[in-house]
């Protein structure tokens, strides 16, 4: 698809008025969406109005509908909930209420609405749109508006964004707030695990999700829970016995704690509720275990939004304004949603109907259908959970006589351990023997290899760093020793989890095949590095955790200046030559500029940035934030930029600098990294099994083709296996980055939200897709 880039400069919002409201239950990230709508709207010269308290404010009018400026949304990016309020609204459900709402909008010339809420709020908006011309005619008949207004404001355009922590909306991989809610749940689970460990306790955790088990399922996957109850997939008859057997088996394997996760809407196969209290009583009566219940409740809705939610909401907000500008009277109301890492537009009512289909399937006991309708990502989560949580008895496992080695290469990244755990467990389920290599290829050459079993990797998902140990050493200087070890231990396949070094290592082994028969085995690279600089993938395991660490620190740093005079912070991030962390950190933290290697800059640009910030500081804005990638320019160092800003900002603002350093590499993995690591590792191990079967001839494995050494990456909407030999041409080996990087497209987004004039390529957006047409393979840029 080779098309000319399409820029939005020719899309003008002049003469248009956009109303933005949040409705239904609140969700973290709603403010980021509101901010993006306001700033993008003002950027294209439209008027933007806040509608306070959701539909209630629209019906009440008056001070509830207020025109806003650029500064109105300053400093709300990091705030949870919604600053414009949300309320359940009875009057809007009546025609009388909607008539009043239409009158209030027409008075201000608002014919474009951006609604951020759940499926109920969006259905209400669609009904309002369908009734709009009738409402206007009725207002004209009552003499409240004139015929001119009926003609001028004849059509109402609506774009929705789904803000809901439950992730219960069909057609989007992730709704705004889901990732943050998972952060809250995982923080609690990690904390509970330490106390449960001390006392050998069982904990039953109840999480939100009246009609959708997404939060329960994903948090169970992310913490390795023993059992999970969700509405879409009720346990089979006799589950009480199976669960108690599983819990006591785990205790017998020296596991000191059990975690059971229950969605608040969990049911059994007769549609009877399964409550956390019921589960607790069962465990106490049958097993006598010391058992406690923790109900997380509204904690899950609270707190600051995660980096993922801020970026998602900012992208959706900008896309929503573009959709409103391009809308015609014939365009159906649409929702902006996420598929893989792409923003897509879908007809609102198709999504709502499909969401209602899920509920209908559950009510009628068609549970397999309900899981399928939830989408590919939900189904994959469920299958992966089932695969990893229940160990089959040895007698039921196949025996393949294949030995697969797993190792970590490069710098540690959060989520590596989750990937190793999944590889070990899926490998054993497939019937292989799994060997763990300690300390990367250096350890491999020295024979630091041991067989690893199911129980050895229990509790690994939540651990940061690399438990196996990792080194940056490449195999080139140890080829003979590594070949010897592979022969001695009869290793038939390799799974290499790591960053750019992991990719280079497998390339070296692939190129050494002509000299060493031992390397003619299937090999798979899983990208794991905070820098996100591996070719062939849009995301790497560990980058999300690092991004959250950066954003959290930026929030704190910005707050440190509250109440003092105007201040600008210069912050240096890691990432080698790859600007991913600096760029995405800037987008998520609301920075004014991000200096990266991929986009060269000179002194004139630095000067323009300083002047831009100075102008901004003359308004009510108090703080500025500038991020700089560690290797963006050898001469314009962090010190240089700090001194330049200090000198040029004299009398307007003062400066501080921070080098974030290795705190970006540490910490417990985020829910995204735990799940991404788990899911791609499970998929890679299944690929290895397939390749082993294909290449097994006359009693030995002989894999000599390019496609037997692959990297598994997330590309746009799919997970794809790509031969490392083919990725060679896509790579800049000197700077250790891919030649093309998808996130550079988001650079203008950051600039627009920081009040710069820029051009933004919108070629990817604009086409309305259909729910059923979303690629079935779509894995998720979500989790």
Strands 17-22 and 47-51: parallel
**Residue 604: exposure state from Cβ atoms within 10 A (0-12, 13-18, ≥19):** exposed
What is the rounded CA–CA span in Å between residue 440 and residue 423?
A: 16
What is the rounded CA–CA span in Å between residue 782 and residue 384?
A: 15
Please, are residues 442 and 459 in contact by the beta-carbon 8 Å criterion? no
Taking Cα atoms as reference points, which of 59, 118, 75 lies closest to residue 554? 75
First vs last C-alpha separation in the chain: 28
Non-local (6+) Cβ contacts of 242 within 8 A are 235, 236
Please, are residues 530 and 575 in contact by the beta-carbon 8 Å criterion? yes
Residue 198: phi, psi to the nearest 5? -65, -40
Per the rule left: phi > 0, alpha: psi between -120 and 50, beta: everything else, 427 is alpha
Angle, to 10 degrees, between the axis of helix 671-695 and the axis of helix 178-199?
Answer: 90
Task: Kindly report the number of other CB atoms within 10 A of residue 1's CB atom.
Answer: 3
What is the rounded CA–CA span in Å between residue 50 and residue 63?
A: 10
Letter string b/e over residues 725-760, b meaning 16 or more CB atoms within 10 A of that residue's CB: bebeeebeeeebbbeebbbeebbbbbbbbbbeeeeb
Is 439 assigned a catalytic role?
A: no
Q: What is the DSSP string of 340-406?
A: TTEEEEEEHHHHHHHHHHHHHHHHTT-HHHHHHHH-HHHHHHHHHHHHHH-PPPGGGS-----EEEE
What is the rounded CA–CA span in Å between residue 445 and residue 476?
A: 11
Residue 32: phi, psi to the nearest 5? -65, -35
| Catalytic pick among 119, 166, 538, 555 | 166
What is the rounded CA–CA span in Å between residue 395 and residue 289?
A: 29
**CA 664 vs CA 423, 451, 578, 582, 589: distances in Å:** 25, 32, 14, 12, 15
Non-local (6+) Cβ contacts of 171 within 8 A are 335, 337, 346, 350, 351, 354, 355, 771, 774
Per the rule left: phi > 0, alpha: psi between -120 and 50, beta: everything else, 422 is alpha
- Active-site residue set: 166
């Amino acid at each position: 698809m080779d098309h000319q880039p399409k820029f939005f400069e020719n899309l003008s919002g002049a003469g248009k008025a956009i109303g933005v409201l949040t409705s239904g239950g609140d969700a973290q990230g709603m403010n980021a969406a509101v901010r993006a709508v306001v700033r993008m709207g003002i950027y294209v010269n439209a008027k933007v109005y806040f509608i306070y308290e959701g539909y209630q404010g629209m019906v009440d009018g008056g001070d509830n509908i207020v025109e806003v400026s650029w500064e109105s949304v300053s400093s709300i990016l990091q705030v949870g909930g919604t600053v414009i309020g949300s309320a359940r609204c009875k009057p809007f459900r009546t025609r009388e209420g909607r008539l009043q709402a239409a009158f209030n909008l027409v008075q201000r010339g608002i014919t474009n609405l951006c609604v951020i809420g759940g499926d109920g709020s969006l259905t209400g908006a669609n009904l309002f749109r369908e009734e709009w011309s009738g409402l206007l005619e009725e207002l004209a008949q009552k003499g409240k508006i004139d015929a001119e207004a009926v003609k001028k404001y004849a059509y109402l355009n609506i774009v929705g964004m789904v803000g809901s922590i439950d992730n219960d909306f069909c057609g989007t991989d992730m709704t705004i707030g889901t990732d943050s809610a998972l952060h809250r749940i995982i923080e609690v689970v990690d904390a509970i695990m330490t106390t449960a460990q001390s006392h050998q306790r069982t904990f039953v955790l109840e999480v939100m999700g009246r009609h959708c088990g997404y939060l329960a399922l994903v948090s169970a996957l992310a913490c390795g829970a023993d059992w999970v109850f969700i509405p879409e997939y009720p346990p089979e008859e006799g589950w009480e016995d199976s669960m108690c057997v599983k819990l006591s088996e785990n205790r017998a394997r020296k596991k000191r704690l059990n975690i059971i996760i229950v969605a608040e809407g969990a049911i059994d196969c007769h549609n009877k509720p399964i409550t956390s209290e019921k589960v607790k009583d069962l465990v106490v009566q049958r097993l006598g275990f010391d058992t406690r219940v923790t109900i997380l409740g509204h904690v899950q809705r609270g707190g600051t939004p995660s980096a993922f939610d801020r970026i998602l909401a900012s992208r959706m907000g900008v896309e929503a304004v573009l959709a409103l500008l391009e809308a015609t009277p014939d365009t159906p109301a649409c929702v902006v949603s996420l598929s893989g890492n792409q923003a897509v537009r879908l007809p609102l009512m198709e999504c709502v109907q499909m969401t209602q289909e899920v509920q209908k399937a559950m009510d009628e006991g068609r549970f397999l259908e309900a899981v399928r309708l939830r989408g590919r990502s939900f189904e994959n989560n469920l299958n992966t959970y089932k695969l990893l949580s229940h160990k089959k008895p040895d007698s039921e496992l196949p025996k393949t006589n294949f030995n697969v080695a797993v190792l970590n290469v490069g710098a540690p990244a959060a989520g590596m351990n989750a990937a190793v755990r999944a590889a070990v467990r899926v490998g054993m389920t497939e019937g292989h023997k799994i060997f763990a290599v300690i300390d990367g290829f250096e350890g491999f050459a020295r024979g630091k290899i041991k067989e690893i079993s199911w129980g050895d990797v229990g509790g690994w998902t939540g651990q940061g760093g690399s438990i196996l140990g990792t080194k940056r050493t490449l195999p080139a200087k140890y080829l003979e020793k590594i070949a010897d070890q592979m022969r001695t231990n009869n290793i038939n396949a390799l799974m290499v989890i790591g960053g750019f070094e992991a990719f280079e290592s497998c390339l070296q082994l692939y190129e050494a095949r002509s000299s060493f028969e031992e390397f003619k085995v299937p090999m798979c690279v899983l990208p794991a590095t905070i820098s996100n600089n591996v070719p062939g993938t849009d995301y790497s395991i560990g980058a999300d955790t690092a991004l959250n660490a950066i954003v959290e620190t930026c929030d704190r740093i910005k707050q440190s200046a509250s109440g003092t005079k105007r201040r600008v912070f210069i912050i240096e991030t890691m990432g080698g030559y790859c600007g991913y962390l600096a760029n995405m950190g800037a987008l998520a933290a609301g920075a004014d500029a991000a200096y990266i290697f991929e986009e060269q800059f000179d002194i004139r640009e630095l000067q323009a940035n300083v002047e831009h910030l100075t102008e901004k500081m003359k308004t009510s804005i108090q703080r500025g934030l500038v991020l700089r990638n560690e290797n963006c320019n050898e001469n314009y160092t962090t010190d240089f930029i700090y001194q330049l800003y200090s000198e040029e900002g004299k009398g307007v603002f003062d400066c501080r600098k921070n080098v974030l350093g290795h705190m970006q590499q540490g910490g417990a993995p985020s829910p995204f990294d735990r799940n991404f690591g788990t899911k791609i590792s499970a998929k890679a191990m299944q690929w290895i099994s397939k390749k082993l079967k294909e290449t097994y001839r006359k009693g030995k494995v002989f894999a000599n083709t390019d496609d037997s050494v692959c990297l598994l990456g997330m590309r746009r909407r799919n997970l794809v296996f790509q031969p490392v030999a083919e990725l060679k041409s896509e790579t800049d080996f000197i700077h250790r980055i891919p030649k093309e990087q998808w996130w550079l497209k988001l650079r203008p987004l950051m600039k627009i939200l920081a009040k710069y004039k820029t051009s933004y390529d919108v070629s990817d957006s604009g086409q309305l897709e259909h729910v059923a047409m979303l690629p079935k393979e779509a894995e998720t840029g979500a989790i």
